[in-house]
A and B are shown apart, each in its own frame.
Chain A
Amino acid sequence: MHKKQSRDLLLFILGGVVLYFLSGMVDELRVYQGASIAVYVIAISSIILLTGYSGQVSLGHGALMAVGAYAAAVARIELQAPIILCFAIAVLAAAIGGALLGAAAARLSGPYLAGTTLALAIGLPSLANQFSVLGGEQGLLFDVGFPPLSLGEEFTQYKWFFWIAALAALISMWAVKNILSSRYGRTWRAIRGNEVAAQLSGINIARSKILAFTISAGIAGLAGAMLSMTIGTVSPSAFPLALSFSLLTGAVLSGITTLGGAMIGAVVLVAIPEVADAVANRIGSSERVTTNLPGFLVSALLILTVLFVPNGPVEQHRARKAKKKNYLS
Chain B
Amino acid sequence: MKAMNRRKLITVSAVIAALSLAVTAVPAQAAEVGVSSREIKLGMTLPMTGTASLGYNKIPGAAKAYFEYLNANGGINGRKVTLVVKDDRYVPTEAVAKTNELILKDKVMALLAPLGTANVKAVAASVNPARRGVPVLFVNTGFSGFADAKKYPTTYTVLPSYIMEAKIMGQYIKDNFEGKKVGLLYQDDDFGSDALAGFKTAGVNFAVKVPYASGSQGAAAAAGWITKFKAAEADVVILFGVSSATSAMLGVAAQLKYAPQWMLGSVGGDATTIKLTGVPAGVLYNAIGFSPVPATTDMKDEYVKLFSDIYAKAVPGSTFDLNVLLGMNSAFMAAQALKAAGQNPTRKSLMAAIDSKGSKFANSALVPLGYSKTSHVGLTGYWVGKYSPTGDLSPIGGSYVTYTTDSGAGAVVKSTYVRPAMPAKGLPN
Contacts and interface: CB of A to CB of B under 8 A. Distances in A.
Interface of A: 7, 11, 14, 17-18, 21-22, 24-25, 27-29, 32, 129, 136-139, 141, 143, 157, 230-233, 235, 237-238, 277, 287-288, 290-291
Nearest to A290: B87
A88 B122 CA distance: 25
Contact of B23 (A25, A138, A231, A290): A25
A292 to B, nearest CB: 9
Contact of B126 (A24, A136, A231): A231
Nearest to A4: B2
B20 interface: yes
For the complex of A and B, the 8 pairs showing the least CB-CB separation, nearest first, are A232-B126, A29-B104, A21-B20, A25-B20, A287-B48, A238-B93, A138-B189, A237-B91
A141 B128 CA distance: 13
B21 interface: yes
A134 to B, nearest CB: 13
Determine the main DSSP class of B at the interface with A: helix
Contacts of B16: 18, 21-22
A290 B88 CA distance: 11
Interface stretch (B5-13, B222-230, B352-360, B388-396): B5-13
Contacts, number: 89
Contact of A137 (B121, B125, B188): B188
Contact of A18 (B13, B48, B96): B13
B167 interface: no
Interface residues of B, number: 41
A86 B92 CA distance: 23
B104 A235 contact: no
Interface in B110-125: 118, 121-122, 125
27 contacts: A7-B6, A14-B9, A14-B10, A17-B13, A17-B17, A21-B21, A24-B20, A25-B19, A28-B104, A29-B105, A32-B100, A136-B189, A137-B188, A138-B121, A139-B93, A143-B125, A230-B126, A231-B97, A232-B96, A232-B122, A232-B126, A232-B127, A233-B93, A233-B125, A237-B92, A287-B48, A291-B49
B57 interface: yes
Contact of A24 (B9, B24, B125): B24
Contacts of A29: 100-101, 104-105
A73 to B, nearest CB: 12
Contacts of A237: 91-94
A25 B87 contact: no
Contacts of A138: 92, 118, 121, 189-190, 214
Contacts of A290: 87
Given A22-B20, A157-B131, A233-B93, A14 B13 contact: yes
A287 B104 contact: no
A32 B104 contact: yes
Nearest to B189: A138
Contacts of A136: 188-189, 213
Contacts of B96: 231-233
A141 B125 contact: yes
B410 interface: no
Contacts of B91: 237
Contacts of B376: none
B49 A287 contact: yes
Contacts of A28: 104
A328 to B, nearest CB: 17
A235 B189 CA distance: 12
A22 to B, nearest CB: 6
B386 interface: no
B89 interface: yes
A83 to B, nearest CB: 15
